[in-house]
Amino acid sequence: MELLLILVILMALTFDYINGFHDTANAIATSVSTRALSPRAAVWYSATMNFTGAMMFTGVAKTIGTDVVQAAAVSQTALVAALAGAIVWNLLTWYFGIPSSSSHALIGGLVGAVIAAAGVEHLKVAGILKIFAALVVSPVASMLVGSAVMIGLMWLFGWRAPSLMNRRFRALQMLSAGLMSFSHGANDAQKAMGMITMALLAAGFIDSFAVPFWVKLACATAMGLGTATGGWRIIKTMGSKIFKLQPISGFAADLNSSLVIMSATLLHLPASTTHVVTGSILGVGAANRVRAVRWGVAQNLVWAWVLTIPCTAVVAGICYQILAAL
């Protein structure tokens, strides 16, 4: 039991580390693509803000740990299988440069592992639907609000000389990139915190679902180190293949994304940073010129999102069967 608990903790931290470099693109792709920040400076700046954000909140961790599956169905073996499914999917999508959702991967892995271990009746359908609704609504909201933000900025500043406007908004992207990284850490690092706390509760090391300080520190550190590694394959997709960003549009996308993700965090809901940032870039691009958006690339990303939960659920279910047989 103790060996399995250690394995869950190590895998959860590995997931957080991978999440860090997998989702680095979400936080810094816009500022790097507009040359507001150098890649090296952007990565370390993002890592610092990710760590800071990860230390601030635990509401999302509680949602992951208590609203998806019944406590009786949680075992160390199921948690290992869930994390294995999420990690495998994250590595595959990172390798091919596809900005898929780490949040979807983890939810899918947890659902698949519990179904394999205890059956569908041990899922908390109401909680899963709430989380799923948040994951679906957030990118749509970010696209609509991002378009409105971009239209407002163009109305206020579009009459200025392009060279002056670019210079000013490159400077402002330092602020928006920091806010984006902070919000990413605040929401995404909590998902691994939730998994570790579930494991501690199942093993009897804690009496109620409360995230210990050392878990927060470990997850924040893993997220920060992963971010410092950088995910250059996905940065290229996010920063240039969807829409060619300018400093003003990069600022609008980052500012809008950070506000949407922080709103979800304060509501204790897991948001997909990947979905939100992509939605923001699509909305900002459409506000500039609809035809300038590469909708074919966006369509491919949507397919990756749709497939994430069922694919990770299947992988996690297979992993559980293998582990149970051993």
Cβ 103 vs Cβ 270: under 8 Å: yes
Q: How far apart are CA 163 and CA 113, in angstroms?
A: 54
Phi, psi of 123 (to 5 degrees): -85, 145
| Geometric angle at alpha carbon 208, from 108 and 202, rounded to 5° | 55
Confidence band of 210 (pLDDT split at 50, 70, 90): very high
For residue 1, the one-letter residue type is: M
Residue boundaries of the structural domains of the chain: 2-325
Q: Kindly list the distances between the CA atom of residue 196 and the CA atoms of 82, 209, 268, 270, in Å, as whole numbers in the listed order.
A: 12, 10, 17, 16
Question: What predicted TM-score, i.e. pTM, was given to this entire model?
Answer: 0.86
Residue 217: closest CA among 244, 240, 196, 198: 196
Q: What is the pLDDT of residues 216-227, one digit of tens each?
A: 999 999 988 888
CB neighbourhood size of 166 (10 A) = 17
Helix (H, G, I), strand (E, B) or coil at 318: helix
**32-71 pLDDT per residue, tens:** 777 777 777 777 888 899 899 999 999 999 999 899 999 8
Separation of alpha carbons 106 and 103, rounded Å: 5
What's the pLDDT at 293? 64
Nearest Cα to Cα of residue 279 among 248, 312, 301, 306: 301
Supply the pLDDT for residue 99: 64
**Alpha-carbon span 3 to 10, nearest angstrom:** 11
DSSP sequence for 183-230? HHHHHHHHHHHHHHHHHHHHTTS-SSS---HHHHHHHHHHHHHHHHH-
In terms of C-beta density within 10 A (0-12 exposed, 13-18 middle, 19 or more buried), how is residue 240 classed? Answer: middle
Residue 143: the pLDDT is 87
Query: Who contacts 317 (Cβ-Cβ below 8 Å, separation ≥6)?
Result: 81, 85, 112, 113, 115, 116
The span from the CA of 239 to the CA of 27, in Å, is 10
Residue 237: pLDDT over 60:
no
pLDDT score for 104: 83
